Amino acid sequence: MAKKKSGRVTLQQVADHAGVSRATASLIVRNSPSISEATKKKVQASMEELGYVYDRIAANLRSQSSSTIGVVVTDFANPYYSEFLTGVHHQLEEEGYTVFLATTFDSDTKQDKLLSTMLEHRVGGVILCPVSDNSPATVEKIRQWNVPIVTAVREIPELHCDYVGINYKKGVETAIDHLIENGHTRIAFLGGLSDSSAWKKRFEGYRAAFEKAGLAADESLIFQSALTREGGAEALDESLKHKHPPTAVFCFNDLVAFGVMQRMRELNLHPGTDLSVVGFDNVLEAATFYPPLTTVESFPKHIGINAANLLHKRIKDPAREEERIILEPELFIRASSGRR
């Protein structure tokens, strides 16, 4: 905690210097219309001269308002979230908010702590990419606390609030369709933990695609793992031990897919010919990876922009109907997948 003695020029000092009252000066910083040009100029000159800096904190305290937004993601080393955050930031700064950013590193307790901290800091709203779907204590707290909150990317089923995400089921379905069309029937599902809603939704798509094609999904080809490159590599290893190994793999996200393809390189397997690989997210790296990754675009930046917009709307009108924005994913076919 920084201790900062003095230094701060106050509105009172400005007012004294300009020969007006503090209240008048206050109206000027907020450029109220009912102030004559002359006094306005005069006071502004004083501000300039004294090097006045508006104290938003004090102002917010008095006016019971907030100009900050808390944004919580699970990991910003993941390029997916970098893009998401770019969207969020861009939009929020446009609206004049300042952003508290934090990472949960996929820890529920961390998430709890962060949300509490943000509450203590009087955030005007929260954009949350939840760690998991079991809504923990703090999420509930936020609710009863009626801080405007928007969830994004992942959803908390019991929590009724604005949400922005994509149609995961549909996304996975098109990916699997693509593999089936290319003659694959043994398609592994790699990465993620089956107790998360994000996983379940993807799995629905996986299963649906098989059903639609009149095939049965082989659940012994499901290999869970952490959502990292290492996780992907390990999941691939497991899948290859299968007595009847897959000819294609669908990966929970691109990061997992990168891990898979790295491991394949080490094993001298070529993505697209020896084994088809499909990812999910279409992060920038997907197109530039070698070989380029077939993946499902999930518009992280758009999700970010929409989440920011939704939050802004809710702040302006807390009573409005909850809104859900579900973007439609899009398959990008690249070299990592091919005919069986």
Contact positions vs DNA (CB under 7 A): 8-12, 15, 19-24, 26-27, 29-30, 33-36, 38-40, 52-55, 58-59, 61-64
> Which one of DNA, its own copies, none interacts with residue 26, CB within 5 to 8 A by kind?
DNA
At a CB cut-off of 8 Å and minimum separation 6, what does 23 contact?
Answer: none
- CB 277 to its own copies: min, Å: 14
Q: Which stretch binds its own copies (CB under 8 A): 20-28, 93-101, 158-166, 219-227?
A: 93-101
> Which one of its own copies, DNA, none interacts with residue 23, CB within 5 to 8 A by kind?
DNA
What gap in Å lies between CA 206 and CA 171, rounded to an integer? 9
At a CB cut-off of 8 Å and minimum separation 6, what does 260 contact?
Answer: 190, 232, 233, 235, 236, 249, 251, 277
Give the residue, chosen from 10, 197, 262, 273, that forms a contact with its own copies under the rule CB under 8 A: 262
DSSP string, 252-316: SSHHHHHHHHHHHHHTT--BTTTBEEEEEE--HHHHHSSSPPEEEE--HHHHHHHHHHHHHHHHH
Cα 97 versus chain centre, distance: 17
β-pair type (294-297, 330-332): antiparallel
What gap in Å lies between CA 46 and CA 167, rounded to an integer? 56
**Measured from the CB atom, is 274 or 328 closer to its own copies?**
274
Does the footprint of its own copies cover residue 111 (CB under 8 A)? Answer: no
β-pair type (125-128, 149-152): parallel
Does the footprint of its own copies cover residue 300 (CB under 8 A)? Answer: no
Does the footprint of its own copies cover residue 303 (CB under 8 A)? Answer: no
Peptide bond into 246 cis (omega under 30): no
Does the footprint of its own copies cover residue 224 (CB under 8 A)? Answer: no
Does the footprint of its own copies cover residue 102 (CB under 8 A)? Answer: yes
**Measured from the CB atom, is 58 or 137 closer to DNA?**
58
Contact footprint for its own copies (CB under 8 A): 1-5, 7, 51, 53-58, 60-61, 63-68, 76-77, 79, 82-83, 85-86, 89, 93, 96, 98-103, 116-122, 124-125, 141, 144-148, 229, 258, 262, 265, 284-285, 288-291, 315
